[in-house]
Amino acid sequence: MLVPGASYLNPGDNAWQLTAATFVGLQTIPGLAILYGGVVKKKWALNSSMMVVYAFSVVLLVWMLWGFQIGFGSPLHLASGIFAKLVGIPGASLSSASLLGRANIPLLDGSMPAFKFPGASLIYFQFVFAAITPAILAGGVLGRMHWKAWLLFVPIWSTCVYSVNAFLLWGGGWLVQLGAVDFSGGYVIHVAAGVSGFVAAAVIGPRLAADRKHFNPNNLLMALAGAGILWLGWNGFNGGDPYFANADAAAAVLNTNLATAAALISWLFLDLFSDGRPNLVGMINGMVCGLVAITPAAGYVNGWGAIIVGVLGSAIPWYTMNRASHRWPFNRVDDTLGVIHTHAFAGAIGGLLTGLLADPAMSEYLGVKQPSIGVTGLFYGNPHQFLVQLEALVVIAGYDALATWLILRFIKLIVPLRYPDEVLALGDRAIVSDSEIATYESEPPVSSHGISSV
C-alpha cells in the first residue's frame, strides 16, 4: 500500500538533502579512514582507521539519544539573557513525530523559510557533520592515544563540545543571535577539531621519539584515494547547507571546488619554489586547507571571494606548518597530522574572510525573501560582520580548548590516556588482532621516504 507524501514535502529538496548527507558520510568512512591509514607510519595504519570508524558509529548513538536536541532543540533556560541561548534541552530524537514530522529548528523559526523535508533528513544530515568532527580531531593524537580513553572521549566530547558549538552557531544560540555566521562548519567543525586535537595532543603527550623523527606515509596512493573522497564529498558538506535544492546550493558547490583548486595549487607552488620539488602530501594538505577555509563562506562569497579564500586559506597554514613549526607553541606539542594548521587555522581564516568578503548579492539567489538571511562583509560596507566573526572565533576556540582539557583530565582519573612505551614501539602489533595484522602485513609496503605527514 502506497502512503501519500506529506503536503509540505518537496521531493527534490528531500532527495538532495539525503544525497548531500551521504556524500558527507563518505568523507568519514571510508574517506578519512583510508586517508589516515595511508598517511601514517605502517605500524599505526589499522589503529588509525579503526579510531575513525568507531567515532562514526558511537556519535550516531549519541546524536540520536541526546546530541541532536542539545544542538538543535529548544533552549535550556539556565538563566536570563545570553545564558538562555547557550545549549538545547537534551532528549532523544527517536519518535515517529521526530522522524516523520516536518523538520524545524525552533530558535530559527521566522528567520528562514520552513524546511520541505522530514525531521529524519535534517537529523541525519546534521549527524554526519557531528561524526566527522572527532574523526578529524583524531589526527592530532594518532600514534599514542589509548583505546580505552578514545572510547570514552568521543561520546563525551561530542556531547559537551560539538553539540554546544552547533547550538551556538546553527541552532539559534547566542552567537548566531549576535549575527555571526558559519555556513557549513568552519568554526563548529574545523576550528573545534583543530583546537581540540592540539589540546588533546598536549595533554596526552608526544609519540615515541623514533616515531616523531620517522613517520613516513606507508601508502600514498591509498592516502590520495581518501583525499579524493574528501574533496568530492565536500560537495554535500557545503551544497547541503542551504537546506534547499536551489541556486545557492549550486553556487556553494562551485565555490567549494574553486577555492580548493586554488588552495591546492597555492600549496604546490609554495612547496615547489621553497624545496625545489612538488610534494604529494603537501598537495593533499593544500586541498584540505581549501576545503576547510571555504566551508564557513561557501554560500556567502562570490567566485572572486572563493579564490581569495582558497589562496589565503592555504598559504597561511603552509607558513605556520613549514616555517613556524619550530616556534612556541608548535614545538612543544606533538600534533601528529598538524590539525591545528590544516583545520583550526584554515577554518579561522575562512570564517574571518567571510566577515570581509560576504557579498550581499549572493543572498538574492537563495530563493527566499527574508532579509535576515543576507550576509554583508566589511568590503561591502558592513564592518560589524567582521567583528562578530572574530568574536565567535574567540568564543568557540576558547570554550573548546578548555572543555577538551577538562574532559581529558576527567578521563585520566578512570583510564590511561596513553599507551606505555613498549606498546607504542609495536603499534598495531600490540593493539589490533593478530590475524588482522598478519593479513595486512602480507601486502608489501609502499616506499615513501622523504615525504612529510599531512
Spatial distance between the Cα atoms of 310 and 256, rounded to a whole number of angstroms? 9
Measured over the CA atoms of residue 206, residue 211, residue 215 and residue 218, the dihedral's sign is negative
Strand partners, 335: none
State the cell numbers at 172. Answer: 539559534
pLDDT of residue 1: 46
CA distance 34 to 11: 33
Q: Taking a C-beta distance cutoff of 8 angstroms, is the pair 440, 49 a contact?
A: no
Instruction: Give the C-alpha separation, 237 to 56, whole Å.
Output: 16
| pTM (two decimals) | 0.93
Q: Which residues of 259-291 are buried (b: 16+ CB within 10 A; e: fewer)?
A: bbbbbbbbbbbbbeeeeeeebbbbbbbbbbbbb
Mean predicted confidence (pLDDT) in 356-365: 86
User: Helices then strands (H, E): number in the chain?
Assistant: 21, 0
pLDDT at position 108: 73
Measured CA to CA, the distance from residue 344 to residue 341 in angstroms comes to 6
State residue 191's pLDDT score.
98
**Can you tell me which residue has the cell 509540505?**
8
- Look at residue 453 and tell me whether its pLDDT is greater than 90: no
Provide the pLDDT for residue 355: 97
CA-based nearest residue to 244, from 368, 153, 70: 368
Residues 383-423 have pLDDT tens digits of: 999 999 999 999 999 999 999 999 999 999 999 999 999 99
User: What is the average per-residue pLDDT within 286-293?
Assistant: 98
- Say how many C-beta atoms besides its own lie within 10 A of residue 247's C-beta: 15
- Band of pLDDT at residue 85, cut at 50, 70 and 90: confident
pLDDT category, 82, cuts 50, 70, 90? low
CA distance 112 to 327: 45
Grade residue 444 by pLDDT with cuts at 50, 70 and 90.
Answer: low
Average pLDDT over all residues of the chain: 91
- Section 355-367 average pLDDT: 82
Q: How far apart are CA 92 and CA 61, in angstroms?
A: 10
Sign of the C-alpha dihedral, residues 339, 341, 344, 347? Answer: negative
At residue 23, the pLDDT reads: 98
pLDDT of residue 452: 38
Question: Which domains, ranges and CATH numbers included, belong to the chain?
Answer: 15-80+117-436 (1.10.3430.10)
pLDDT at 118: 95
pLDDT band at 3 (very low <50, low <70, confident <90, very high): low
Q: What is the pLDDT of residue 106?
A: 82
**DSSP 8-state assignment for residue 338:** -
* Per-position DSSP letters for 367-424, written without gaps between them: S---GGG----GGGT-HHHHHHHHHHHHHHHHHHHHHHHHHHHHHHTTS-SB--HHHH
Q: Which range (14-18, 68-72, 275-279) has the least confidence?
A: 275-279
CA-CA-CA-CA torsion sign (275, 329, 308, 240): positive
**pLDDT tens, position by position, 44-74:** 999 999 999 999 999 999 999 999 999 999 9
Please compute the mean of the pLDDT values over residues 245-274 and round it to a whole number: 96
Output 329 or 113, whichever has higher pLDDT: 329
b/e per residue, 186-225, with b = 16+ CB within 10 A? bbbbbbbbbbbbbbbbbbbebbeeebeeebbbbbbebbbb
For residue 454, the model assigns a pLDDT of 40
| pLDDT > 90? residue 364 | no
pLDDT at 233 over 90: yes
The answer, yes or no, to whether residue 447 has pLDDT greater than 60, is no
